[in-house]
Chain A
Amino acid sequence: MKKLGTRFFLISCLLMLLVSCSYSTSRGFIEQPQTKDVVVNSYFSDLEKDYVYKAILHIYKHRLSGIFIVKKINTNHHRIVFTTEFGKKIFDFELVENDFKINYINDQINKKKLIRTLSDDFQLLINQNNAVMNEFYSPTESIYRSKVRDKYYYHFYNKNNDQLEKIVMTSRNKEMLTIVFQDLKNNLAQSIVMTHDNLKISIELKYINN
């Protein structure tokens, strides 16, 4: 009877483990010994560069187009500003270490939940170095998992050229946000698409050669 109880416990644990790992980000990937301690996202890392993009933001029912600007001010310090084509600011955020500061936000989008979402999204977009917790094997990609506060980040690098092509942010058991980097040249992503899995929020960025 005691044996049966132990077996039941073990099976339950295994099932729970399988369920908790069953979201598609890591589905089918096999964990392998770590080859890196840190994963690097270099797309917003140059202090000399102004990263200027034409942007379309879909926020619930609204479509906002404009100019999206990212500037690295210092180590772990970025400024992210979104303006209309005419130059009117929609938001102006500052990310210092893990702090998120609002310099300006338009009244129409000044909503607590939305700001918290954008804060997490932009943290993921610009976070340059992340300590690797796990590494997974795939024939085409190198996949690394890291943890920032209560979120998990999965960085996907193309095995042929070692370029970062995708980052997925998850909670413990579900995907939250996917960022896809395309047209990659000299540490610059000319096209970036950020898509939420459970919210009607997405951001499309096309690089402007300013």
Chain B
Amino acid sequence: MRRKIYLFSLVVICFSFDGVSQQMEMLNNESQELRKRIIEKSNTTNTIISDFIQYKHLDFLSNDIKSTGKLVFKSPDLIKWEYLEPFKYSVVFKNDKLLINDDGVKSKIDLSSNKSFKSLNILIIKSVKGDMFDENSFDIEYFKNSKNYLVRFQPKTSSVKSFVNEFILTYDKVSLNVIEIKMKENSEDYTLLKFINQSINEKVGNEVFSN
């Protein structure tokens, strides 16, 4: 009996520590220091090449919908977002245009006349670079664990809120690279992007951004 209580206590303690290690709110001076470091890092990030795994979580499904692909970013505003599995689909944000290639079927959207797509483009660039520290647009909370920093951005404007209720960015504690972006909806549903095999500031030619 005593052994059982001991084991139960151990399990409780382990889970408690796990909970704490996942989300410990940062002190104000600590979070401001982190904010400064991330903005500095973001300002010196000229290119990003990364593989990604996307999980679409819908609460009623048995499994998340998984897709994988490749992201290429070049400062100030070129992005190629390419899904490779289980379908081929890519978009390029370039010169106020969104170039879409849906498994060979190509189309184009003019962003200059489409406000919501334009703000989406800006948000994508900011989230990929990790710098979304605009306090006029977001309520921001800072957390940390042993390996990562986690920053929650809650949109203040209804236009952004209508498609994402909260952005949660996870930064690697050492490199300050964004390693996860979680976009929560009003319900329990969310999209989670995990970035792997990242290369920062490698040379990227403009020809990559054709579609």
Contacts and interface: CB of A to CB of B under 8 A. Distances in A.
Interface of A: 48-50, 52, 54, 56, 63, 65, 67, 69, 71, 73, 79, 81, 83, 85-89, 103, 206, 208-210
B89 A65 contact: yes
A67 B89 contact: no
Contact of B189 (A73, A89, A209): A89
A209 B85 CA distance: 10
Contact of B67 (A71, A79, A81, A85): A85
Contacts of B62: 48-50
B86 interface: yes
A60 to B, nearest CB: 16
B87 A208 contact: yes
B102 A52 contact: no
B16 interface: no
B65 A52 contact: yes
Given A52-B65, A85-B89, A209-B86, 8 more contacts: A49-B62, A69-B65, A81-B58, A85-B87, A86-B54, A86-B81, A208-B87, A210-B65
Interface in B62-86: 62-63, 65-67, 81, 83, 86
Please provide the 7 A-B residue pairs with the shortest distance between their CB atoms, ordered closest to farther. A87-B191, A87-B56, A54-B87, A208-B86, A50-B61, A65-B102, A85-B89
Chain A CB within 10 Å — which of B56, B81, B187 has the most?
B56
B183 A50 contact: no
Given A86-B191, A87-B191, A89-B185, A69 B58 contact: yes
Chain B CB within 10 Å — which of A50, A63, A79 has the most?
A50
B8 interface: no
B56 A83 contact: yes
A70 to B, nearest CB: 10
10 contacts: A50-B63, A50-B65, A56-B102, A69-B58, A81-B58, A86-B81, A87-B191, A88-B191, A208-B65, A208-B86
Given A52-B65, A88-B163, A73 B56 contact: no
Contacts of B199: none
B9 interface: no
Nearest to A108: B116
A138 to B, nearest CB: 36
Contacts of B60: 71, 73, 79
Interface string B109-152: 00000000000000000000000000000000000000000000
B21 interface: no
B107 interface: yes
A52 B60 CA distance: 13
Given A48-B62, A87-B54, A210 B185 contact: no
Nearest to A48: B62
Nearest to B69: A85
Interface in B24-75: 54, 56, 58, 60-63, 65-67
Nearest to A85: B89
Contact of B83 (A49, A71, A85): A85
B63 A67 contact: no
A103 B185 CA distance: 12
Contacts of A206: 87
A76 B162 CA distance: 31
A147 B153 CA distance: 51
B63 A87 contact: no
A209 B87 CA distance: 10
Nearest to B55: A87
Contacts of B86: 54, 208-210
